[in-house]
Structure formats: C-alpha cells, structure tokens
Structure 1
C-alpha cells in the first residue's frame, strides 16, 4: 500500500507516511503506542533513543562484599554454613559464631546498602546469644526480598588451616541455598589455607570472605 501511495502522491507535500496514505485515499488507523516507542525524525532524536535503549539494557543489580573472623575457643561447637563440623574446638562468639554465614550476611547487607550484621543483630542483645546464624541469614534474605532483590550469585572463601572442610561443602550449599531461596548451584564455597601464615595459619581462628550479586526481581 505504501508503495502504491508513493506512486500516486510521491511528490505531495506531506509530513509522514500516514499523511501520504491518507492523501492516496487509503484508510489510516491510530493505534495506541508507548512513549518510549519513539519516531526518529531529527538527528537529536537518535540521542534520546540511545538513552532509552541504554536504560532498558542495564539490569538493576547490586554487588556486596562481606568479611568475618572468629578465634577458636574450647568447649564450643564448630558451625560453618549451618553445618556442625567435628573438631576439637569451636569458634568464640555471641551467637553460634558461624563465620561463613556471618560473612554472607554482611555481603548481602552491603549490597543492599543496609549496614552490617552488628547493626541489625548486636552482640549486646541477649536474644541473639547462642542463636543459629542461619536464622539471622533468613532475616537478611527477608530484607533483600522486601527491597525487591533476590540472590543471583554468591562466592564464598573460607580461610582456615584446620579442619578440612571439603566433605561438608555440599551440605553447606544446600542449607544456604534453601535459606536464601535459591538453588544450591547459585552458591559457591571454597576452602583455602594460608600455608601456615597469619592467625589462620597458626590455627588461632577462621576467616571468611563472601561476595554476592543481587538482582531486581
């Protein structure tokens, strides 16, 4: 139809193709569109179109990093990633001292711009004494959900000379994944040593780093 309209009225003084069709006696229907589905008429329209495309193509994501460390202590259970691990010592702390889960909580809070674990669950509050840190993680995941975010990826590195953690990593991933409401594959956990250097190398405690990526739901 457009080709026929050009053949009939191609030299006519019209502003666009719809006017050309009307002048050729071809019915034109108005269809409701979108403000972002813009027409490119002038060179400056290209800059506006590029800006619209750029906004649509950039995902709403947040990145957070968390770190925690606890010293070893006698007469304490060793809990990491929600798993109780056989060892001759546990970690000292107000809660269960799950250094891995604490680092993950801090990473999530960092991505949300919501402070740190000490702000939300202070060690001066008796209700958190001995608490299972996975319960704290569940609350932090709730904060993320309330803000419209879900966990896209978590990469966690536990730094310790002992005990050996490889046999427990799969169970940790299952617990953390369930708590974060994601598949276990979304969470990666690595264990490494410092080759005898530093407080972890001297077996004085355990440290943990966590990095997370949150995406808008």
Structure 2
C-alpha cells in the first residue's frame, strides 16, 4: 500500500485530489492538511511514502515544507502539485529534493502515475514541466554537457550504467531487474552517484545524465 499525505489550502482541491487518488489501486491517503507547517508535522506523525504539496500555502509554503520533509524524512518522496509552473518554482522545488512536479491542470492519470513512480523510488515530471526543463537545458547544452561529462568521469562503469537507467526514469526495482542484481545494490550505487555528482536527488542526477548525453542525447 502506498501511503500519501496531501497538503493544499483549498478544501475543494484537496477533496478532488483525494477522490482521484481513491481510484488508484493500492493508494491510501493517510492525512489531509491545509498548510505547510501541518504538512511537516503530519509527515513526521504518519511517515507517508509520498507527500503531495501545493506551493502557495499559509504558515509555511510548500517549497519550504518540501525542504523540511526531505531533510527530516529522506525516505519520503515529495511531489509538488500546483497551478504554478514557473521556471523558478520548478528549479527551486527540484533543488530542495522534490522527486516530482505536477500541474493541477494535468491529466488525473498523471497524478496516479506520479505517486506510484515516486513511491517506487523514481522521479516524475508532468509532460509540460519536463518539456520546460529540457528546453532550458537545451539552451546551454554545450557548456552544461562539458561540465556534466567531467563530473561523470568520477563514476565507475557500473555506476554510469545505473545513472543511465535512472536517467531513463527507471525505479530502483526496475534497474535491479535490468542489471540482474538485488535492489539493495542499486540503492548503494545511487547513493554513491548522488555523492560523487554533488547532487541532492534522483531528478538532479537524471538531469546530469541528460546533460552528459547518457540519456536523450548524443552520448
């Protein structure tokens, strides 16, 4: 069972999102709150697999809450679910350790897919957000690519293989199956990769893989 905490200051939005999640097999909403501070407190109390956070909330905004939850509960995945898809919000959310960024205007199926992906240790961006991220990367791809390739040189051949699969959106379980190893080995590789690349989460590692040409590039 994937346990989800939902935080949004609009009761009708919370009800709608909860109703969508209720249609997903194996997904349970363990708490619903209306501000970021309550989200942090309930996350500590319920230890959910995934926290869905609106960005603009009272007391503590969703971005600040995301940072606290990732710091206090590193095993809990965070997804930003918002009306606001500005580049600054996307960049800050990913920098704080969010593993997903979804727009409220998106297809409800994206919500279910995102929750399942993040709960499984993968990352998930709505198609519109992914397009914006890739577009920004493409604008400075040459200089970014050189820097990313230099960073990736510190990885072993096995770690590069894991990074490539991670960049392709695979979860730890999927990578383990593809590489014929146990999931714990993949988790260890991912932890080492994050440290050696100097990034905070899988999304940033996936971006580094893209910039270096391991995924969706020229290689």
Do these two structures clear the TM 0.5 threshold for a shared fold by scoring above it? no
> Higher Cα Rg: structure 1 or 2?
1
Structure with the higher fraction of residues in strand conformation: 1
Q: Which structure's residues are more often helix, by fraction?
A: 2
Structure with higher RCO (Cα < 8 A, 6+ apart) = 1
TM-score, normalising length: structure 2: 0.27
